[in-house]
Amino acid sequence: MDDATIHRAAAISSPLLAWYRREARDLPWRRVGFPAWGTLVSEIMLQQTQVARVVPRLEAWLTRWPTPADLAASPPADAVRAWDRLGYPRRALALHAAATVIAEQHGNVVPRDVDDLLALPGIGDYTARAVAVFAYGDRHPVVDVNVRRVLARAVLGQGEPGPAKAKQDLPLMEATLPADRDDAATTNAAVMELGALVCVARSPACDACPIADRCAWRTAGYPEHDGPRAPKQSRFAGSDRQVRGMIMAELRASDVPVSPAEITMVWPDADQRDRALASLLRDGLAEGDDLEGYRLPRG
């Protein structure tokens, strides 16, 4: 990374901080005193899920399971059922597994160290850094898709970020962070917020952007992106993901095993239905067989 790129990255933090402190959404995980456990839960729920869908589910989850030990004491089926329609229910199983390790190995306290967080089941680099920064205020670069888009445009002058590259993305975000630890944590949140609300993928609101006068992409005249593009998620309608979700809805709604005949009614394509059910069994989201019926995991 050359000096000019480092300078452009550092130059966006000050106006972003002022904008964020004035315009940031009031979200539960941003409030003073919000627990580290709540931050971990929120970060896992927010993966590929809209904020508006997460907030009520998060509040209900933390009311029922205010600490990791509370969740660990419940069977995995309860976690999957409470996940409801947030999507990607394997996240519920991963969160249950992480809660169990936190309760048993960390004294029921979400660890602060990034390496300790990474050692938890289902916790990747983004989530580990996000918890260390947003729950504990430590100074680390945190990079998600919104951050990558803002940095690509404002700092690199590219219309799209292209495929994720940790060796480029993390140092670029690191160059954006002020030295002050509190300001660094807030800058992480501010860049995310800008990407979520203003510097969106389609039709960015450049007239409302607090760093428009420092944006390399705008200065260059909004050139078309001609580099590699980030992979797009496949269509949901008619996909195996949709069939998995429909089978999961049947399992969540029943307190007794669901018979093969009931599962047959979920989807007309037998091959796709069988494939979806097999993947749920393989992922640990369902258990049983054609003789006993199928249910959520009991742990």
Closest alpha carbon to 5 in 152, 147, 209, 219: 152
Residues in the chain: 299
Rounded Cα distance, 76 and 199, in Å: 38
How far apart, in whole angstroms, are the C-alpha atoms of residue 164 and residue 216? 20
Contact in structure between 230 and 159 (CB atoms under 8 Å): no
Establish whether 43 is a catalytic residue.
yes
224: left (phi over 0), alpha (psi -120 to 50) or beta: beta
Q: Give me the helices (H) in 46-180, please.
A: 51-64, 68-72, 76-83, 90-105, 114-118, 125-134, 145-154, 166-176
- Which residue among 23, 43, 250, 262 is the active-site one? 43
Beta bridge partners of 192: none
281/181 Cα distance (integer angstroms): 45
Residues annotated as catalytic (active site), given as ranges: 43
